[in-house]
Amino acid sequence: MATSNTISGIWSWWWEGTNQQDEFARSTLTISLAVLAIAWYVWPIVKSKSSASGLPPGPRGLPLVGNLPFLDPELHVYFAKLARVHGPIFKLWLGNKLGIVISSPALAKEVLKDHDTTFANRDVPAAARVIAYGGSDIVWTPYGPEWRMLRKVCVREMLSGASLDAVYALRRREVRATVSHMYKNSGVPINVGEQMFLTVMNVITSMLWGGTLKGEERTSLGAEFRQIVNEITELLGKPNVSDFFSGLARFDLQGMERQMKGPLARFDRIFELIIDQRLKIDREEAEGKSSEKGSRDFLQFLLKMKDEGDSKTPLTMTHLKALLMDMVVGGTDTTSNTVEWAIAEMMQKPETMRKAQVELEAVVGRDNIVEESHIPKLHYLEAVVKEVLRLHPALPLMVPHCPSQTCTVGGYTVPKGSRVFVNVWAVHRDPSIWSNPSEFDPGRFLRTDYKWDFSGNDFHYFPFGSGRRICAGITMAERMVMYSLGSLVHSFEWRLPEGSKGDLTEKFGIVMKKATPLIAIPTPRLSNPELYA
């Protein structure tokens, strides 16, 4: 009876994602379930063999589906609880995909440093492969010459300090526009996360093609991007049968790949539009037909790299579009959520807000506005950002790694092709590492001679990951968070609407979000209205 109920449940789960009028899909499902029913009885034999292969310990699962039915939506917290029972390395069966969870600095070091090359690949979800142009971006491309070329383009060239300095005016324009908007709506409750999402989206698109699109065209494009990004993140956050049962991936039973092709087509249309306009501007400048040169932006740089790059491992137009996709999708939620978390945490502990404002007054002044040149002197604000990323790392489980060959971690076998999660959220809240780990205390990063940073060299604190696949956008993220947060804290006092209570509950997803959006009221702090223009 239990077997029948489980198979029936699986049938219902898959069938919801298919077109019930499609006879081919109906036949495919019937055949697949017949095979799965047979596998049900083979499963105990397979499991008994795997238990003798030196795999890490882990919770017992059900035949066929493994531990999938028991997963908690707050996956980072659920994994941390399992680690307290099974140890800092344990296994989970996600359908026929083996998951390995790492929850300690020592084991994270083994994976991300000692065996860095082995774990330098990704286990690419089916939906991510679609939206990343077949996995042609820096996040999902397999480790090798192509990935090294993309990494060089991003880190050494496009996102270097000099390149970011060159487009500072574009970032500044968008941040000042947000401050001005909030000033005009002072005393009115605003959705801080929503405003920061729009700000960061405008900042990123301005840096990407700020010299290409102008005026209303750029504004309307930002609104369209927000809608598309929401669709993409929602699809990527849904469980997909194709990722758990590799033999069924080709059938796209839930239609996730088909659904993801919609946002991809819309993005591709936009990319084609701006690329054509950029090329037109460059041609007119070269022919002397344009009296006004376009501003420098990343798109201009990428097109130049495409034409002048290494012939052995060229940067193709597909790579170029995939990198634009990474910047737009990967940089928006992560940055805006971090700023939202920072303001929410400081509002819960007003003394931290006051300390940050006192520092900003000393460095910037009450009759001046924050500039990126002030950032190196804002040590307490930097500690606030570090503490926020300790408590609420943007990607609590990072992007899963996938070993290219079977290896040993912590004395256990980690098979080739398994999905390896590094629970940085759990490491950052480990009471054996951090005193009062759940408390928001920026001072912990100032009360020591040790310089905590984002380099990933210390496995007690690595919010951006570590090793070869460390986040490529650290420099840009640090600048954007510090500059945006500094501008909002310096320009306004913040309070909750009457009757509201602060809520710091987390919501697990692709990136760490607040379960309840921060609704807060800004009040101008600066006496000169011109500073808000």
What CATH number has the domain bearing residue 366? 1.10.630.10
pLDDT computed for residue 83 by the predictor = 98
Structure tokens at 124: 């690419």
Helix, strand, coil percent values for the chain (each to nearest 5): 55, 10, 35
pLDDT computed for residue 211 by the predictor = 60
Alpha-carbon distance of 359 to 353, in angstroms, equals 10
Q: Residue 94: beta bridge partners?
A: 66, 97
Structure tokens at 297: 């932006």
> Domain of 107?
53-532
Q: What is the DSSP letter of 311?
A: S
> Strand 97-102 and strand 419-422: pairing?
parallel
Inter-residue contact 210 to 271 (CB < 8 Å): no
Structure tokens at 398: 């990072």
> Computed from CA positions of residues 50, 51, 55, 57, in that sequence, does the dihedral angle turn out positive or negative?
positive
Inter-residue contact 357 to 489 (CB < 8 Å): yes
> Strand 190-191 and strand 97-102: pairing?
unpaired
Give the residue carrying structure tokens 């908007």.
Answer: 181
Q: 1 in a domain, yes or no?
A: no
Residue 532, CA distances (Å) to 123, 169, 178, 488, 527 in order: 47, 17, 9, 11, 10
Residue 296, CA distances (Å) to 112, 164, 210, 249, 303 in order: 36, 11, 8, 43, 12
Give the residue carrying structure tokens 């290896």.
Answer: 407
Residue 106, CA distances (Å) to 72, 157, 303, 465 in order: 26, 33, 42, 14
- The closest of 115, 137, 120, 117 to 128, measured between CA atoms, is 137
Q: Spell out the SS3 assignment of 345-361.
A: HHHHCHHHHHHHHHHHH
How many structural domains is the chain composed of? 1
Hey, how many other C-beta atoms are within 10 angstroms of the C-beta on 1?
Answer: 5
Report the Cα 103 to chain-centroid distance in Å: 19
pLDDT computed for residue 312 by the predictor = 86
Rg (CA), the chain: 25
Alpha-carbon distance of 165 to 162, in angstroms, equals 5
Please report, to the nearest 10 degrees, the dihedral formed by the alpha carbons of residues 114, 116, 119, 120 taken in order.
180
Q: 447 in a domain, yes or no?
A: yes
Q: 2 in a domain, yes or no?
A: no
Q: 37 in a domain, yes or no?
A: no
**What are the pLDDT tens digits along the chain (533 aa)?**
444 444 444 444 444 444 444 443 444 455 455 555 545 545 554 554 455 479 999 999 999 899 999 999 899 999 999 999 999 999 999 999 999 999 999 999 999 999 999 999 999 999 999 999 999 999 999 999 999 999 999 888 888 888 899 889 888 998 999 999 999 999 999 999 989 988 888 888 888 887 665 566 666 676 677 788 878 888 887 888 899 998 899 999 999 999 999 999 999 998 999 999 889 888 888 887 665 555 568 898 899 889 887 778 999 999 999 999 999 888 888 999 999 999 999 999 999 999 999 999 999 999 999 999 999 999 999 999 999 999 999 999 999 999 999 999 999 999 999 999 999 999 999 999 999 999 999 999 998 878 899 999 999 999 999 999 999 999 999 999 999 999 999 999 999 999 888 899 998 877 888 999 999 999 999 989 999 98
| pTM for this prediction | 0.87
Give the chain's length.
533
Inter-residue contact 374 to 364 (CB < 8 Å): yes
Alpha-carbon distance of 65 to 94, in angstroms, equals 6
Inter-residue contact 390 to 497 (CB < 8 Å): no
Inter-residue contact 424 to 393 (CB < 8 Å): yes
Inter-residue contact 126 to 240 (CB < 8 Å): yes
Q: For residue 425, what are the contacts with CB-CB under 8 A and spacing of at least 6?
A: 76, 77, 80, 393, 396, 397, 512
Alpha-carbon distance of 489 to 494, in angstroms, equals 8
Structure tokens at 4: 């029948």
Three-class secondary structure of residue 46 per DSSP: helix
Residue 269, CA distances (Å) to 8, 222, 465 in order: 42, 14, 33
> Strand 121-122 and strand 519-524: pairing?
unpaired
